Amino acid sequence: MQSLLERISFLRPGLWDLIQIAVVAFIFYRLLLLWAGTRAIQMLIGLIVLFAVYALAEILQLELIRYLLEIFFTYGVLAAVIIFQPELRNALSKLGQSRLWRYFSRPEQSPESLQILAHAAEVLARKRIGAIIAVEREVGLEEYARKGTPIHAPISTELLESIFTRYGPLHDGAAVIRGETILAARCILPLTQFPVTDRSLGTRHRAAIGLSEETDALVIVVSEETGDLSLAQRGRLERKVSGERLREALGVKPGRAKLAPAPPAAQPAESAAAELSLVDRSSPAP
């Protein structure tokens, strides 16, 4: 009896063991949340199947299958890093977006500069000038700004309008905003890796969703065809947003005087801004 109790003693974990189990379970839970609906979760299921086949080959003494799988698992770590590179980068980026780090790395943006940015977006929408503006938050956008044309000028309606004017040398691409400065223009942003269900969305909207998936940036999109304002953040896209919603997303406190009236065209109730699930994360990217 004593021998049996000694064999199953591992089933009686101590306090430290329970803490470690809870930490590992939380890590796996967060990883599953990050990878849910992506290609990574499908590959993870495939790896689980391979481990099950290996265990079965071990039990049935299938030497050839076990040998081949052992070779695969030996180099599997390097292969997994290469295959899961986008998902791993996204996961590490999300870890850096915790509230603890945000407390120490708040970007400095005055209410006046945010008002100017919101006003500029409304002017672009009113004139139907297509634009995409990425507002940097905790995660830096330096790698995207480096590939564009340096501007390093204070935010102004006139400058943003001249950047995105059709057929201008800088209109093709995104403008990156850091604090109170337009860091660069003509920046190339990553497109979303997931199929977009709404076929009416163009490259600007897909790039806005893609950047918001990889960073915590707020991306403002102005449609050239309709003049509608859209917001992308955390991999979601809100369409036909109002000036008030734009200011709310930028963090402008209500009650401050606006620099310009909202566009004259009234929005009907059924076309009010709503967060749309325009990205199909249940299907792998083509």
Give CA–CA dist 248/255, Å, rounded: 11
pLDDT over 90, % of the chain:
19
Q: Is the pLDDT of residue 8 over 80?
A: no
Instruction: Give the domain ranges of the chain.
Output: 2-95, 108-262+272-276
Q: Is the pLDDT of residue 268 over 90?
A: no
- Which position has the higher pLDDT, 121 or 14? 121
* pLDDT value for 140: 79
With left for phi above 0 and alpha for psi between -120 and 50, is residue 19 left, alpha or beta?
alpha
Nearest CA among 135, 94, 154, 104 for reference residue 251: 135
For residue 146, the one-letter residue type is R
Given a contact cutoff of 8 angstroms between Cβ atoms, the answer to whether 171 and 183 are in contact is: no
Helix (H) or strand (E) holding 177: strand 174-178
Q: How confident is the model at residue 40 (pLDDT cuts 50, 70, 90)?
A: low
* pLDDT value for 2: 52
Tokens 């109002």 map to which residue? 242
What is the average pLDDT score of the chain?
Answer: 75
For residue 29, the one-letter residue type is Y
- Which position has the higher pLDDT, 22 or 75? 22
Q: How confident is the model at residue 243 (pLDDT cuts 50, 70, 90)?
A: confident
- Which position has the higher pLDDT, 216 or 221? 221
Q: How confident is the model at residue 37 (pLDDT cuts 50, 70, 90)?
A: low
Given a contact cutoff of 8 angstroms between Cβ atoms, the answer to whether 132 and 221 are in contact is: yes
- Which position has the higher pLDDT, 100 or 24? 24
Q: How confident is the model at residue 259 (pLDDT cuts 50, 70, 90)?
A: very low
For 152, residues 6+ apart whose C-beta sits below 8 A from its C-beta are 181, 182, 183, 184
User: Model confidence over 81-137: pLDDT tens digits?
Assistant: 676 666 566 656 655 555 444 444 544 567 888 899 999 999 999 999 999 999 988
Nearest CA among 208, 80, 224 for reference residue 134: 208
- Which CATH number does 108-262+272-276 carry? 3.40.1700.10
Q: How confident is the model at residue 274 (pLDDT cuts 50, 70, 90)?
A: very low
Give CA–CA dist 181/200, Å, rounded: 32
Q: Is the pLDDT of residue 260 over 50?
A: no
Lowest mean pLDDT among 62-71, 131-140, 167-176, 194-203: 194-203
Q: Using CB atoms within 10 A of its CB, is residue 11 exposed (0-12), middle (13-18) or buried (19+)?
A: exposed
- Which position has the higher pLDDT, 100 or 35? 35
Mean pLDDT computed over 175-185: 91
